[in-house]
Chains A and B, each alone.
Chain A
Amino acid sequence: MDFDTIIQILDSAVRLMTPLLLACLAGLYSERSGVFDIGLEGKMLMAAFTAAAVAYATGNPWLGLLAGIAGSTALSLIHGLASITFMGNQLISGVAINFLASGMTVLLGQKIFGLGGRTPSLTEGGRFGEITLPFADTIREVPFIGPIYAELLSGHTALVYVAFACVPLTWWILSRTRFGLRLRAVGENPASVDTAGVSVTRLRFAAVAICGVLCGLAGAYLATGLSAGFVKEMTAGRGFIALAALIFAKWRPWSALFATFLFGLLEAIANRYPNLDLGVVTIPSMFMNALPYILTVIILAGFVGRAIPPRAGGEPYVKER
């Protein structure tokens, strides 16, 4: 494997990890506030569809992005209604949202475009263009650093850079701001927030809404950045890999960056080498695809450091004396 190949694989890993990272951070906000979310997949899927549909209709990926955020946030609000307002089972609500997105995207897609659930392919105008970082072309020829800068760091769509910027931003919000303090508190012990005179409902809805926005970015990137349009079930389990990454990262933003990079890398390798020949053994791509899930189970089992979810996670808040 030569240097260029490594750069290409890493470049591909960055592209593939971006939706994972955004969805993972989305889940992080929701779950740190005590609302479990296994509906990341559905929200991403809905966002991918609405983003692609609007981007196709308007030819503007930014309007598509807004539509993606709207689509995903709408589902978030249903989740909030069920799990916060009506104190329902958050897991069941998540399952319902995944199906709702899976069915509605095809239903609407068929109705609007009549292509069996796809949107028409987006032309250049409807997609996010790649951003070339300054001097990328000048440095390209410099050995080692040149390709890293020009190929790996430069030449991604705006959403990739947004996703990466969200990591320090999330860290800062959680650890340095009033909102972050309250968000963490409401996920650990909502009664502490409630007795301090702060609304648990409002905080959790805020978290769930942020989750919707970030899932919207993730979905929009899938349909208008990574691909050119929406295809039925295009998230293909990415929402669950993001969920796995969230657990793998133990609900922490910087670790989320690492976890999603790892999972993105695995996908990139599996794509490039359907059967990875390591000399002694040949690793089939199915194994590489399953590896994120296997790793997460191992982490969950607590054999390699324990993943402890927020203490109040999954439980609706009921006022008590």
Chain B
Amino acid sequence: MDKMPKWADVILTPVISLVLAMAISAIVILAIGESPWMALKTMVDGALGSSYGWGFTLYYTTNFIFTGLAVAVAYHASLFNIGGEGQAMMGGLGVALVLLYLPLPHWVLALPFAMIGAAMFGAAWALIPAWLQAKRGSHIVITTIMFNFIAAALLNYVLVNILRPVGSMDPASARFPEATHLPTLSDLALVLGVEWGKNTPVNVTFFVALIACVLVWALIWRTRLGYEIRAFGRSEPAAMYAGISPVRITVIAMLVSGALAGLMAINNVMGESERLLLNAVEGAGFIGIAVALMGRNHPFGVVLAALLFGFLYQGGGELALWTSIPRELIIVIQALVILFTGALDNMVRMPLERLFLALSNKRKDA
């Protein structure tokens, strides 16, 4: 029989891991001479206390949904895609090329084209590691790490030597045409006559991200491809036996993963900065790892975890603004979440399993 009920596995263990991570973070805050309670209050006020805070929180959430989904999809195929960062960078390049070189008259038209550009560039950047893993057995974790650095160098080169407007010193592209400006949620709210989230970057991409979640859910649990991805992820020999091609699944899963990471660029490049910057991704690709782990690789879990990290990011910014706690606290929290929900999973799980086993034995005896 299962060692513990499903709800304990899906909800209890991540929650306990999160509590542990938060407890240690609180100790860290205490250690640097600040009050964890005040820190939390500042974060909640700053991130959730106003529509302004929510506007930023949801903007970050959107980024993390994409990168979290990217990690989750690959994880179902038993592939650890640590290259979301590079794939998101390349997605940005795709968006920039589409918006700078295609004459698109309106955002409604620009959005799908930019999405295609973002997804294709992101997927292409995942393709080589995927192919090398499938055909040559090159460890995908190492190759995707390497591709993050190669992407950074490539982007640097393209921005400095090709996309940089004449006379500009910034390693950044020109502004995208005004017509391609994505409506922000505050724009949309104004249409409805509500003032909400003025001057915040959250935009229609948020809805694209939510749609992506539903689509990923359907892909993984309702399609033959998803079935094959999950089967391959659990057992490669069984997949071979069932006529599922490991090469095909590895490549497709990574293409989908890379495309999702690339799609993040719709939010940060097209929606927010409206030009391609060198450091546009800002580590969101890595946060995707924490988000996917926290969300147990389920799209709805990913939304919740992304929201949590969106809150942490916005709240962390507020912390840096109002207290002497640097925003790097968020990186520490992120590390602890990855550590507890990912690497130290057994530390939480084993005592819980023992507890549930004892409980069920007691019930049997009674």
Which residues in A have some Cβ–Cβ distance to B below 8 Å?
38, 78, 81-83, 86-93, 95-100, 102-104, 106-108, 110-111, 116-117, 237, 240, 243-244, 247, 284, 286-287, 289-290, 293-294, 296-297, 300-302, 309
Known: A92-B343, A110-B324. A99 touches B334 (CB 8 A): yes
Q: Is A293 within 8 A of B150, CB to CB?
A: yes
Closest 8 CB pairs of A and B: A103-B331, A93-B343, A99-B335, A103-B332, A290-B153, A92-B342, A100-B335, A82-B343
Chain B residues, Cβ within 8 Å of A247 = 142
**A287 cross-chain contacts in B, Cβ below 8 A:** 153, 157
**With A284-B157, A284-B161, A294-B150 known to touch, is A95 a contact of B32 (CB < 8 Å)?**
no
Taking CB atoms, residues of chain A closer than 8 Å to B136 are: 300-302
Contacts of A89 in B (CB 8 A): 342-343, 345
Residue interface bits B329-349, CB-to-A below 8 A is 1, else 0: 111111110110011111100
Count A/B pairs, Cβ under 8 Å: 152
Q: A99–B287 Cα gap in the complex (Å)?
A: 10
Q: In whole Å, how far is A315's beta carbon from the nearest beta carbon of chain B?
A: 13
- Let me know if B326 and A110 touch, CB within 8 A: yes
Q: Which residue of B lies closest to A241 (CB)?
A: B149
A91–B338 touching, CB < 8 Å: no
User: A100's closest neighbor in chain B, by CB?
Assistant: B335
Q: Which residues of B contact A237 (CB under 8 A)?
A: 149
Chain B interface secondary structure, helix, strand, loop or mixed?
Answer: helix
Would B149 and A293 count as touching, CB distance under 8 A? yes
Q: Which residues of A contact B161 (CB under 8 A)?
A: 284
Nearest-Cβ distance from residue A79 to partner chain B, whole angstroms = 8
State A107–B32 Cα separation when bound (angstroms).
8
Nearest opposing residue in chain A for B156, CB measure: A286
> How many angstroms between the C-alpha atoms of A301 and B136 in the bound complex?
6
User: Which of B33, B132, B339 touches A297 (beta carbons < 8 Å)?
Assistant: B132
A-side contacts of B153, CB under 8 Å = 286-287, 289-290, 293
Residues of the B chain whose Cβ atoms lie less than 8 Å from the Cβ of A111: 32-33
Q: A103 and B32: CB pair below 8 A?
A: no
Contact: B149 with A99, CB < 8 Å? no
In the complex, the answer to whether A244 meets B334 with C-beta atoms within 8 Å is no
Q: Which of A86, A110, A286 contacts B347 (CB 8 A)?
A: A86
- Complex CA–CA separation, A78 to B7 (angstroms): 29
Known: A89-B343, A302-B137. 17 other contacts (CB 8 A): A82-B339, A86-B344, A86-B347, A88-B344, A90-B343, A91-B82, A97-B335, A100-B339, A107-B325, A107-B332, A240-B146, A286-B154, A289-B153, A290-B152, A293-B150, A294-B150, A296-B142
Among A95, A116, A301: residue with most chain B CB under 10 A:
A95
Does B54 reach chain A (CB closer than 8 Å)? no
CB–CB B343/A302 < 8 A: no
A residues near B350, Cβ cutoff 8 Å: 86
User: Is there a chain A Cβ closer than 8 Å to B225's Cβ?
Assistant: no
Contact between A300 and B142 (Cβ–Cβ < 8 Å)? Answer: yes
Neighbouring B residues of A108 by C-beta, 8 Å = 32
Within 8 Å of chain A (Cβ to Cβ): is B139? yes
Chain B residue contacts of A38, Cβ below 8 A: 141-142, 145
CA distance A96 to B347 in the complex (A): 16
User: Contacts of A86 on B, CB cut-off 8 Å?
Assistant: 343-347, 350
Contact partner of B157 (CB less than 8 A), chosen from A92, A116, A286, A294, is A286
Q: Chain B residues near A297 (CB, 8 Å)?
A: 128, 132, 138, 143, 146-147, 150
Chain B nearest CB: distance from A150 CB in Å? 35
B289: Cβ under 8 A from any A Cβ: yes
| Residues in B neighbouring A91, C-beta threshold 8 A | 80, 82, 141
B289 touches A92 (CB 8 A): yes
B-side contacts of A107, CB under 8 Å: 28, 32, 325-326, 328-329, 332
Contacts of B330 in A (CB 8 A): 103
Could you tell me if B146 and A293 are in contact, using CB atoms closer than 8 angstroms? yes
Given the complex of chains A and B, what is the CA–CA distance between A111 and B31 in angstroms? 9
Query: In the complex, A71→B342 CA distance in Å?
Result: 23
Contact of B329 among A103, A286, A300 (CB under 8 A): A103
Q: Is B306's CB within 8 Å of the partner chain A?
A: no
Q: Say yes or no: is B293 at the interface (Cβ < 8 Å to chain A).
A: yes
Assess the A96–B338 pair: CB atoms within 8 A. Answer: yes
Taking CB atoms, residues of chain A closer than 8 Å to B293 are 92
The residue on B at minimum CB distance from A291 is B153
User: Can you show 9 pairs from A to B with CB atoms below 8 A apart?
Assistant: A82-B339, A86-B347, A88-B345, A93-B344, A95-B286, A117-B328, A286-B160, A290-B154, A296-B142
**Counting chain A CB atoms within 10 Å of each CB, which of B326, B333, B334 scores highest?**
B326
Instruction: Report yes or no: A103 in contact with B132, Cβ–Cβ below 8 A.
Output: no
Q: Can you name the residue of chain A whose Cβ is closest to the Cβ of B328? A: A106
- Distance of A31 Cα from B153 Cα, bound (Å): 28
